[in-house]
Amino acid sequence: MMKLSLGPILWFWSRQTVFDFYANAAEWPVDTIYLGEAVCSRRRELKPDDWFDLARDLKACGKDVVLSTQTLIESDADLRRLRRICDQNEFVVEANDQSALQVAIRNDIPFITGPSMNVYNVATLKVLAKQGLRGWNLPVELGKGTLDQLIKGLKEEGLDLPAEVFAWGFLPLAWSSRCFTARHYNLPKDNCEFRCIEHPDGMELRSRESQELFRINGISTLSGSRYDLMRELPEMERMGVSTIRLSPEHQGMDEVVHRFDQVRRGVTPATDPLQLVEAPPCNGYWYGKPGMELVG
C-alpha cells in the first residue's frame, strides 16, 4: 500500500498554530512528516531547536520524519541554518536547493530531493543514488508520462529509489529574491512586519476576469487552483509510486488526510476533500496539459 506524507508547511503560521497542527498530525494516518521552514528565513516563530524537538516527538509517535531545507538560499545566515540541519545524523534531509544537495553529500547524510529540484531523467537519479539519495519527488510540473518512464527506467537499472508525488494542495511554482507580500503592503523586504502571518493560506491573486490565478506567499508564488490527484491514486499504485504527498493547509487538513487514506485502502470516501475549502481544483500537469486545467 502506498504511503501518505505531509509536506513541510509552506505558509507562515504562529508558533502555537504549528505546535497544535503537529500534535494533531501525530494521530493522523500519515507515514512521513516533513518539518522545517522551506520558504523564507525571516520566518522565525520556530527556532532550529524547536524543529528538532518536534522531529523527535513525532518520531517517538511512530512517524518517519524528514527535515526540509529552504528552497532559495540567499545569505550566509541561510547557509549557516542549512549546515545546522545537515550537521545532524538523526533524520533524513529533504534537499530543495542545490546548496542543500552539496552540503548533504559532503556530510555523507541520506537525503531526498524535494519537488522543487530539477530531477527529469534516470541519469540524474543514478548519479545522486551513488551520493546518498534515498528517494525523490516528481517535480510538480511533470505528469504521469514522465513519471512512468522514470520508474521503469530505474527498475531497468536495478535501482530501488522510492518515488513521491505531490497530490494535494496549492502547487509551489516559483521563488524570487523579492517578497511579494511585503510589496503588496508597500513595505521593504527587510522590514516586512511579517505580514505573511496574516494570510495563513496565502494571498489570492485574481485576473481582471476574477479568475484565481495564483497564491502569493512571501517570496514564493503558488497555483491559484488546488492540485488534487485523489482520483488518480489507483493509477499511481499500478505505476509503482511509493508515497503520496499532501501539502498542509490551515483548516480541514484532518479530513483531507482521512479521505486520501480511505482511497489508498480501496474505500470510496463519502465526501470529497474539495468540498471542505473554497478553491477551484486542477490536475492538468498530471495529464501533460496546462496546470490550471481540470481533466475528467
- State the binding site: 40, 179, 192, 196
Q: Which helix (H) or strand (E) holds 16?
A: helix 15-25
For residue 206 the three cell numbers come to 485574481
DSSP letter for each residue of 213-281: EEEEETTEEEEEEEEE-GGGHHHHHHHT--EEEE---SSSHHHHHHHHHHHHTTPPPSS-GGGSS---E
What's the rounded Cα separation, in Å, for the pair 216 and 174? 10
For residue 213 the three cell numbers come to 490565478
Query: Which residues share a beta bridge with 3?
Result: 243
What's the rounded Cα separation, in Å, for the pair 155 and 160? 7
Binding positions for [4Fe-4S] cluster:
40, 179, 192, 196
Q: How many CB atoms lie within 10 A of CB 176?
A: 11
φ/ψ of 273, rounded to 5, equals -55, -25
